[in-house]
Structure 1
Amino acid sequence: MTSQAKTARKRRRSLSSRLYTWLTSMNLAIALLSILAIASVIGTVLQQNQPVNDYLIEFGPFWFEVFNTMGLYDVYSMSWFVAILLFLLASTSACLIRNTPGFLRDIRSFRLNAQDKSLRAFAHSRQYQSDLPAATIVERTQGLFKQLGYKARVKEREGEILVAARKGGMNRIGYVLTHLGMVVILVGGLMDSKMYLKTLNTLGVVEVETRDLPVSQVPEESHLPPGALAGFRGSVNIPEGKWGDVAFIGLKDGYVVQNLPFKIDVEDFHIEHYDTGMPKSFNSQLKLTDKESGEVIEETIRVNHPLRYKGYNIFQSSFGDGGTELEFDAWQLFGKVGTKQELEGKVNQERTFDFSGEKHTLEFRDFTLFNVNPTEGPDGERENTNFGPSVTFRLRDAAGQAIEYENYFQPVDFDGTKYFLSGVTAEVGGQQQFLFIPADRNDSLETFMAFYATLKDRDEITRIAVDLVGQTSQGQQGGAAQSAAARSIADMVETFVEQGFSALAEQVDRQLAERDMPPEMADQAQESSFRVVQSVLMRAYMETLQDQGVEEFGDRDEDFFEKALDVVTVIPNYGSPIFVAPSSFNHIQSTGLEVTRAPGMFWVYLGSLMLTLGIFMLFYIHYRRLWVLIKPAGVNDDGDSAHHRVVVAGTDARKNIDFDQAFAQFSDELQRQTESNNQKNPPSHPDNPGRSE
């Protein structure tokens, strides 16, 4: 082999050696563990796998994109997180492979080749002389070792005897268990991760579906057969009285469908609420039917009490609406105002209708049975009041623009007056505003809608204005003048209804300015115009009551009139050509189930146990070695004859103060038992109380 080849081979070995050293370094392990800890904190603080709109509303467009690019909305499934786990697994495994053989050899070895010079160089070392026979010294040394729990071996060599002892070898086993436990935990975690599913997606075996489709319409390439994944975590919503046999696994911006080997029937769903309306507890009564064997299991699950079957776990995770059946009245607010249609619908379904040549879609989104809100009671104290059930829906026009509404089934009492409430959210993340429509004496919308229809009927308002002008003119004006005055009044009423009081005031000011009146007369004329409009509105309202058979006009009717006028001027901004008044419902709930299969859980638990035991061994078991070397000697330092020189040495892997005391006690006791009767204890080493020479 040439020198260049040898040099190249040496460089390759040097590079691989440096790489191996880096992979097994403590710095790399600490860095990886720190990154994992930070990622875990983020994954705990920031709720994972929530709807995209929730993150967009909370963080705004800029930070939403930043966090989305970093993958913080699904930390534990990100490629970089899995890559760190793999690196940590490789690093820990390399450390285990490198150190385990040496540790195992170390705990089996008594190191019987220790020499005199090396023993005296130990930090814990002392020597003294004894005139006892070597056999006696060895016997007493072994007895003391046994008493202290050490295992000892004796070796004779070239006229000297070495007694070597050790204890706490499980400390080294603790190192192995600690690292092996981490390896087992990481392997178990990777088994339950989405790494395999992502690999299948990368290879094109599985396609991610991003559309919101029924299970029957999801393409076959987005389905996984039972058992395709060793571990997964999916979810499914099943309404009461319905069944399901799949779980949806979120992946990237969509999902894949995992087919299950059993069918889940939801026979009943029950929920309890606190006084505040918040859910107190909820549970599902399930019937599980095995597709292959036909085995049937019936069990009620609740939060933290899942149903377990053949490695699958079915958790109670959430609840929602399962398609509540609705009946409602659709009141027209434009066109044929005041007319209504009795319609039906379902939550999570759409209903399309045409209005004035334009297509509109009602998308029923949710149903809420209890709406508990804080209100002020009769005594002025805050109390919780249930506003009753409500339905949330979106009205989408032909251009695709939608406004969200939340309408309540029954009128709500505010300060003695009942109102039908309709919450309006014009844009995503916008503040909800409410439309308050007063209820009539029958707690219905009939009176208001009839009154509003009259105000929107130009011919009817003109007729009322003509009658009013005829009553006030007393023959002083001709027919043409009365008609012109009536039309002018009708115009003002129309302006008030369509645009509000401020627009009416501007219109009156313009008309008076054209007449060039003095200020005093203009003010009187303006006030007179307002009174005329008020009279027409009141006449229209009273005729509405008469048509409904109301004979007496009381204070309650007057109060209703004033509040109805407040509503009339804001309806043009309501944004909907109809008012949906829900009337009855058949409540159907849906249970949210989380279906998991986690074969790695056993290994995670096993690894955690190994890690705990290993840490316990490392911290509470001390790996210690002691040596006693007995050498022939002639005359001691005092001029007395001596048979042997005894060298005592010891070491502790942890090098703590406890061993200083333990070594001093051992060496003192050994010296007391084996030293000559006339021999004094030698002085302690000035720098180490456990060492003397």
Structure 2
Amino acid sequence: MSNNDQTAAAGAPPASRPKAARQPRRSRIIVDFMGSMSLAITLLVALAIASVIGTVLVQNEPYIEYLMDYGPFWHEIFAGMGLYQVYSATWFLLVVAFLVISTSFCVYRQTPGLLKDLRRYNTQVKEKSLRAFNSSATAELDQSQDEFLKHAHRVLKAQGFRAREKTHDGHTVIAAMRGRWNRMGYLLTHVGIVVICVGALADGTTLLKINEWLGNLEIETRSVPVSEVPRSAWVPAWNPSFRGSVEIPEGASANVVFLPMREGYFVQELPFRIELEEFRIERFSTGAESSYESDLIIHDPNRDEPLRHTISVNHPLIYNGYAIYQASFADGGTRLDIDAIPLGAEALRELEVPGRVFQEMEVPTPDGDTRIIEFINFRLENVIQLLDEDGVRENRHMGPSFDFRLMDRTGHGLYYRNYQRPALQEGAMYFLSGVRESPADEFHYLFLPADADDSLERFRTYLAMLHNADVRNAIARQVARDDDTVPDEQNQAIATTTAELMGLFARGGYMAVHEEIERRVPPERLDAMRDLMIRILHAGLQGLYMEVLQDEGVVSIQEEEQRFLEDTISAINAISLYQSPFFFHLKDFEHREASGLQIARAPGQSTVYTGSVMLIVGIFLLFYVSYQRLWIMARRREDGTGTHVVMAGTSNRHQVEFEDRFAHLKRWIIDQKPVDANNSGSTHQSNNKND
């Protein structure tokens, strides 16, 4: 029972009072709960939290990206809560649906009262009630009642009030109101929320979820060509609302988009085909992308001629209710010409590997095994930080690079990134190859020294000779003979040791050499013998380098040649950790780019815009338009010579400003002083009661 009902019951005669308080009906309890302010606030808070999550957490990324970013524990929690697709999560759609129902109930309950309040002037007031208002005034005027009432109507009309007059019981009441649209603001804000939520539901994935629950759709989780995706994962073209993406290489076309859904995707059919004629990209001096655009051709069976249009970032194409955005770019299957340079073979012969991005092929290794190389990506421009001659990091343009994964037959392998051109690092030129165990790790680089011609010829020659046992033996004998400190009877032993150490170094670097020394030498002589063996090894490596230089026609070793030897030894030492039998060097390529398009169909977009306008207008009316009511009661004085006047007013907002206005209205209506338009709000009068 409401407060008004209780008051009426308390003032009713004993015979009319109910014998017992009525219990509210169950339907009434449901209506009151669904239309309650507490439920609406709770739902709005839930939507606000969801919006924050959807803003902070990147949405609709592949699950593998989230797994690498947050780890298995938090990934499972976030995925279970649907935080990776907040705006299409079941709980989010239920919150929006309940907010629609709750706000609709609220509008249903309040609208009749609001409309009635707009039409009702309430002339049935008592003088005692008017005196109790915070803003009220009384006066005894010598003016007749009729003249006063005419004057009051003129002032109220001039001040924008709508007034009604009623006479009863010997007195006349003027009821006036101003700013009635403030009451409409309440209705517009609530209806606007309902309209926005309805538009959001129309643009959501509700229909897809229903079809998934019914078994009509099944999420595809495999990374397979679109032709191999089963029909159970295909969404027909009549789907009214979706937002998906597709990558189209130059010269190719597509009539589908992929809709991300939890750990997989759906394939959404389009009623037309999109062809990418050309993709263009512009870059800053740092190598970063500044802008990119795509020349598209729309092939629609309902058109006589194809539609040609260029889209760019923030400039989409709107076609028959489908919005086509320029979202990203990727490689479109660049053709690669690669030299596979052996790093552990005894032969200098290289292997030509023709490849294409997104494809894989088998590569025979020098030891008779087979590796599988998967080409992942190609980048035309790369900028990385390297050290200059002073040891200061600076950005360097590295030119083209390609990413690949080298696997054995079990599928285990590492990820690599090789650059086509050598880069300057601390005053010398190197070919760089990054290696890492997973895409989530940082690259660790192998530096292969480049010769004076910016090629790998000298390094390849030195490496091949180091792996050749006959060459090692010949160099070892020559080094032993040329060493004057070695007695002739020990030449053979020193030569044998030198050749063995060089062979160990070729196969496993310093680690293999140290392990062999520790295996052969007693612990008490280990330190001394280790230094001796390393000196013997370096003598052999130096002798081998001299042989390489002689073949090139170099007579004397300069500082550059000596540094090259040191860099070569460091690179060979690191090859054992590189875990690849080849260094894959990019000779040439045929670049092919792909445009990443995002295609959306949002029939509820106009509905959301309409609701947003209603919400904005409603909020403006609520905050900036005050609903003011004024009552003037006039009756003839008992002596019959004048008029007794009581004036009172109230406002639902801006009470301080209304008290100023009420003071001026009293001055103009009761005191009947001239209206000063330039000083209409300079007086503040609160609870003005003049008896």
TM more than 0.5: yes
**Which residue of structure 1 lines up, in the alignment, with residue 139 of structure 2?**
128
Contact 2:144 2:641 in 1 (8 A): no
C-alpha spacing 1:330/1:658, structure 2 compared with 1 (3 Å): same
**Which residue of structure 2 lines up, in the alignment, with residue 235 of structure 1?**
245
CA distance in 1, matches of 2:346, 2:267: 48
SS of aligned partner of 1:691: coil
Asked if residue 334 in structure 1 is aligned to residue 344 in structure 2, the reply is yes
Deviation digits for residues 40-94 of structure 1 (CA, Å, limit 9, x no counterpart): 1221122212233433333333333333333222211111111111121112111
CA distance in 1, matches of 2:561, 2:522: 37
**Which residue of structure 2 lines up, in the alignment, with residue 587 of structure 1?**
591
C-alpha spacing 1:428/1:591, structure 2 compared with 1 (3 Å): closer
CA distance in 2, matches of 1:439, 1:92: 72
C-alpha spacing 1:610/1:118, structure 2 compared with 1 (3 Å): same
SS of aligned partner of 2:222: coil
Deviation at 1:566, TM superposition (A): 1.5
For 1:412, the aligned partner's letter is A
Asked if residue 552 in structure 1 is aligned to residue 558 in structure 2, the reply is no
Deviation digits for residues 412-445 of structure 1 (CA, Å, limit 9, x no counterpart): 1223322111111124422311111112233222
Contact 2:135 2:688 in 1 (8 A): yes
**Which residue of structure 1 lines up, in the alignment, with residue 7 of structure 2?**
none
C-alpha spacing 1:138/1:314, structure 2 compared with 1 (3 Å): same
C-alpha spacing 1:560/1:378, structure 2 compared with 1 (3 Å): closer
CA distance in 2, matches of 1:298, 1:268: 11
SS of aligned partner of 1:689: coil
CA distance in 2, matches of 1:512, 1:93: 89
**Which residue of structure 2 lines up, in the alignment, with residue 683 of structure 1?**
none
Contact 1:150 1:166 in 2 (8 A): yes
CA distance in 2, matches of 1:46, 1:235: 19
C-alpha spacing 1:304/1:506, structure 2 compared with 1 (3 Å): closer
**Which residue of structure 2 lines up, in the alignment, with residue 154 of structure 1?**
165
Contact 1:208 1:222 in 2 (8 A): yes
Contact 2:388 2:425 in 1 (8 A): no
Deviation digits for residues 563-616 of structure 1 (CA, Å, limit 9, x no counterpart): 211111221111112221111111111111111111211111111111111111
Asked if residue 34 in structure 1 is aligned to residue 48 in structure 2, the reply is no
C-alpha spacing 1:646/1:97, structure 2 compared with 1 (3 Å): same
Contact 1:358 1:398 in 2 (8 A): no
C-alpha spacing 1:494/1:19, structure 2 compared with 1 (3 Å): same
**Which residue of structure 1 lines up, in the alignment, with residue 301 of structure 2?**
291
The RMSD of aligned alpha carbons is 3.0
CA distance in 2, matches of 1:148, 1:660: 15
**Which residue of structure 1 lines up, in the alignment, with residue 570 of structure 2?**
566
Contact 1:276 1:373 in 2 (8 A): no
**Which residue of structure 2 lines up, in the alignment, with residue 497 of structure 1?**
506
Deviation digits for residues 127-149 of structure 1 (CA, Å, limit 9, x no counterpart): 33345433222222211211211
Number of residues of Structure 1 aligned to a counterpart in Structure 2:
660
CA distance in 2, matches of 1:529, 1:650: 106
5 Å matches for 1:49-68? 49-68=60-79
CA distance in 1, matches of 2:395, 2:193: 52
SS of aligned partner of 1:226: coil
Asked if residue 102 in structure 1 is aligned to residue 113 in structure 2, the reply is yes
CA distance in 2, matches of 1:498, 1:43: 53
Deviation digits for residues 638-674 of structure 1 (CA, Å, limit 9, x no counterpart): xxx5454323222222371222222232233222249
**Which residue of structure 2 lines up, in the alignment, with residue 171 of structure 1?**
182
Deviation at 1:365, TM superposition (A): 1.1
5 Å matches for 1:220-231? 220-228=231-239, 230-231=240-241
Report which stretch shifted further, 55-64 or 23-32. Answer: 55-64
Contact 1:273 1:280 in 2 (8 A): yes
5 Å matches for 1:129-528? 129-228=140-239, 230-355=240-365, 356=367, 358-375=369-386, 383-466=394-477, 468-469=479-480, 486-501=495-510, 503-504=512-513, 507-508=516-517, 511=520, 513=522, 523=528
CA distance in 2, matches of 1:395, 1:500: 22
For 2:657, the aligned partner's letter is D
CA distance in 2, matches of 1:468, 1:218: 66
Deviation at 1:281, TM superposition (A): 1.0
For 2:353, the aligned partner's letter is L
Contact 1:440 1:447 in 2 (8 A): yes
Report which stretch shifted further, 215-224 or 287-296. Answer: 287-296
SS of aligned partner of 1:111: coil
**Which residue of structure 2 lines up, in the alignment, with residue 678 of structure 1?**
none
Runs of 5+ in structure 2 lacking a partner?
1-17, 674-684
C-alpha spacing 1:572/1:466, structure 2 compared with 1 (3 Å): same
Deviation at 1:121, TM superposition (A): 3.6
1:623 pairs with one of 620, 623, 627: 627
5 Å matches for 1:75-114? 75-114=86-125
CA distance in 1, matches of 2:262, 2:530: 66
Contact 1:338 1:450 in 2 (8 A): yes
**Which residue of structure 1 lines up, in the alignment, with residue 677 of structure 2?**
none
**Which residue of structure 2 lines up, in the alignment, with residue 684 of structure 1?**
none
Contact 1:664 1:689 in 2 (8 A): no
C-alpha spacing 1:110/1:509, structure 2 compared with 1 (3 Å): closer
Deviation at 1:116, TM superposition (A): 3.6
CA distance in 1, matches of 2:667, 2:244: 67
CA distance in 2, matches of 1:442, 1:643: 116
**Which residue of structure 2 lines up, in the alignment, with residue 667 of structure 1?**
666
For 1:234, the aligned partner's letter is G
**Which residue of structure 2 lines up, in the alignment, with residue 681 of structure 1?**
none
Give me the identity figure in percent. Answer: 39
- Normalising by structure 1, we get a TM-score of 0.88
For 1:689, the aligned partner's letter is N
CA distance in 2, matches of 1:418, 1:380: 15
SS of aligned partner of 1:249: strand
Contact 1:370 1:388 in 2 (8 A): yes
Asked if residue 599 in structure 1 is aligned to residue 599 in structure 2, the reply is no
SS of aligned partner of 1:292: coil
CA distance in 1, matches of 2:389, 2:462: 32
CA distance in 2, matches of 1:467, 1:662: 112
CA distance in 2, matches of 1:500, 1:334: 11
5 Å matches for 1:602-681? 602-635=606-639, 642-654=641-653, 656-673=655-672
CA distance in 2, matches of 1:164, 1:509: 108
SS of aligned partner of 2:361: strand
CA distance in 2, matches of 1:467, 1:377: 39
Contact 1:541 1:561 in 2 (8 A): yes
Deviation at 1:543, TM superposition (A): 3.6
Report which stretch shifted further, 245-254 or 219-228. Answer: 219-228
For 1:340, the aligned partner's letter is E
CA distance in 2, matches of 1:205, 1:488: 74
CA distance in 2, matches of 1:441, 1:85: 68
CA distance in 2, matches of 1:666, 1:476: 125
For 1:285, the aligned partner's letter is D
- Normalising by structure 2, we get a TM-score of 0.88
Report which stretch shifted further, 195-204 or 552-561. Answer: 552-561
**Which residue of structure 1 lines up, in the alignment, with residue 676 of structure 2?**
none
CA distance in 2, matches of 1:505, 1:119: 105
Deviation at 1:317, TM superposition (A): 0.8
Runs of 5+ in structure 1 lacking a partner?
1-5, 636-640, 675-686
Deviation digits for residues 464-518 of structure 1 (CA, Å, limit 9, x no counterpart): 434555677999878xx8766544332222222233335535645765649x98x
